[in-house]
Chain A
Amino acid sequence: MTDLRWSSLRPAHKASVVCLLLLALALLLVPWLSPWGQEHIDWNAIDTPPSPTHWFGTDGSGRDLLVRTMAGGRVSLTIAVLATIVSFAIGLPWGAIAGFAGGRVDQLMMRIVDGLYGLPFMFLVILLVVFFGRNPYLLFIAIGAVSWLDLARIVRGQTLVVKNAMYIEAARALGVTDLWIITRHVVPNVMGPASVYATLTIPGIIIAESFISFLGLGIQEPQTSWGVLIADGATRLHAPWQLIFPATFLAVTLLVLNVAGDQLREAMEPKKQGVRL
């Protein structure tokens, strides 16, 4: 893994990290500082455009859009992080066991991954959500449960590298059990790259949650998320600010995460000969 010092980052990446920090700050502080609560209704300001009292305007029920957008962002990001943890919890053991065991077990486990890889996940997630209710906890579990595949592949690859290292041979020679080796040597070495790759899946998870909420199957009132806000805005096009603000925030967040993610990905891969990619 190459250098990730601040000074070695390109300007675009620096900007994106700063952006992320600002965003996180806004998501935390704005609802706290604003006079308007997330559920507070201003009866005289239903569907009003941005104004000094309501910086982002109000939605169709008279609630302040700035606070709602920030609250929605908190929910979207929280779910993304939780889903990532779930996918990590599944993908890491899967890949580690497959890589370490090798042979038939490895082939079988990776075949399953291959098979699942091409399937339409969104459908399975939607089916799960529709059947078992629109619980926000269920939502991130469901999303996480279908996004662990790439992670499993990466972890397996890393495990193979570690497995062949000398000290593993040494430990084996000493008669240590496989499980001990996995937990004490493989996992710590794999965690680093695995964590990085896990964070790369966050934009995809945010999109998945927004997608499901957009279809009405995800986050429910009075909770909100960017997907819900965009869906609402899309039905009230006579009040375009209700669509534009949440959509912009989502797009910018995805952009910034992708840029930062690119930097991480570059740091992980060895430089190719001759051509800087």
Chain B
Amino acid sequence: MARFIFRRLAFAIVTLWLVVSAAFFLIRAAPGGPFDGERRLPPAIEKNLLASYHLDEPLPVQYWRYLRMVGGGDLGPSFKQKDFTVNELISAGLPISLGLGISAFLLALLLGTSLGTFAALGHDTFRDRFLSGLATLGLAFPPLIVAPILVLVFAVGLAWLPAGGHSSPKHYVLPTIALSLPYIAAFARLSRIGCLEALGLPHVTTARAKGLSHPRLIFQHVFPSAFVPVLSFSGPAAAALLAGSMVVEEVFSLPGLGRYFVQGAINRDYTLVMGTVLVYAVLILVLNLLVDLLYGRLDPRVRSEMVASND
């Protein structure tokens, strides 16, 4: 088990390094720089600015300097937000994105798996078909479509909920719904399949035949199996959620990590962009690792496989 974790961690670190390097070189290759303003700077000033941010050093030197910095946990100064460091900006934005992402994920998980299980239990009845239909419908509504429509209907039209800002939990209601909708649908479909598989398994049908009471049956045997396909999808789902949060943060004016990323990319704020990419990559790798571990606990077959194999 420990060997498994170790290999995963090593792999993760290598991936991180690749991601950071890719981002570093890509940004340097881009036209334009962080100091493009409306007026041209006198050469002496431009020289000083570049020097103070170490942009005048040769590329490999800058790269090594950055790797050393990041290794020590310092993500550098922001090129555009001159009074702040990237760490400060990210620590301001991360809680908001995490709050949004976690709420959306939990909502999708709970609501999605409940709906899916519910549908599976009433297999082939009207409710099953109806819920399945709804789930398929839900996949057609990415945050990009849902977010502005929610604002139109609930914020502008009915004025029930706020349209922007993040000062109270109320502000997170619409963004969470907008972000989670397609994942509720996806999890519903997956958990339904998981449940149906479980319902068809020998030990379940046997238990049913033996007359085991219904609720116990559900919770002990069927429900956990609903989570298996959901869990394996959780990794990519979380990654997609983080990406989707960019649109939601934009529409609802939430100053989260996604917002910083987009603004940083547009402004060529090198250090800010690299910092956010790094944070995202870490989050996703950690999530994937967690998912893999949970997967093992949940499904005994997989766990024994993991232990037995060299993987």
Contacts and interface: CB of A to CB of B under 8 A. Distances in A.
> Are any A and B Cβ atoms less than 8 Å apart in their complex?
yes
A165 B273 CA distance: 49
Interface string B15-41: 100110011001101110000000000
Interface string A190-227: 00000000000001000100110011010000000001
A211 B142 contact: yes
A127 B18 CA distance: 15
**Range of interface residues on chain B?**
35 or more
A59 to B, nearest CB: 15
A128 interface: yes
A127 B265 contact: yes
Contacts of B152: 237, 240, 243
Contacts of A259: 136
B8 to A, nearest CB: 10
Contacts of A12: 133
A240 to B, nearest CB: 6
Contacts of B14: 115
Given A240-B152, A251-B145, A118 B265 contact: no
A262 interface: yes
Given A127-B23, A273-B200, A237 B156 contact: yes
Contact of A118 (B151, B273, B284): B284
Interface in B105-136: 123-124, 133, 136
Contacts of A85: none
A118 B26 contact: no
Interface string B73-104: 00000000000000000000000000000000
B51 to A, nearest CB: 24
Contacts of A127: 23, 26-27, 265, 273, 277
B188 interface: no
Nearest to A255: B140
B141 A234 contact: no
Contact of A252 (B140, B199, B236, B251): B140
Contacts of B197: 272, 275, 277
Given A127-B265, A258-B139, A277-B196, A250 B236 contact: no
A126 B261 CA distance: 10
B277 A130 contact: no
Contacts of A258: 136, 139-140
A80 interface: no
Contacts of B277: 120, 123, 127
A96 to B, nearest CB: 23
A245 B151 CA distance: 16
A275 B200 contact: yes
A46 B142 CA distance: 29
B256 interface: no
Interface string B272-309: 01000100110011011000000000000000000000
Nearest to A128: B26
Contacts of B31: 131
Contacts of B243: 120-123, 211
8 closest pairs, A vs B, by CB?
Answer: A234-B148, A122-B243, A254-B140, A255-B140, A131-B30, A275-B200, A118-B288, A130-B265
Interface of B: 11, 14-15, 18-19, 22-23, 26-27, 29-31, 123-124, 133, 136-137, 139-142, 144-145, 147-149, 151-152, 156, 193, 196-197, 199-200, 235-236, 239, 242-243, 246-247, 250-251, 261-262, 265-266, 273, 277, 280-281, 284-285, 287-288
Interface of A: 12, 111, 115, 117-124, 126-128, 130-132, 203, 207, 210-211, 214-215, 217, 227, 230, 233-234, 237, 240, 243-244, 247, 250-255, 258-259, 262, 272-277
Given A120-B239, A131-B31, A255-B137, 11 more contacts: A118-B288, A123-B277, A126-B261, A131-B26, A234-B147, A237-B152, A237-B156, A247-B145, A254-B139, A275-B200, A277-B196
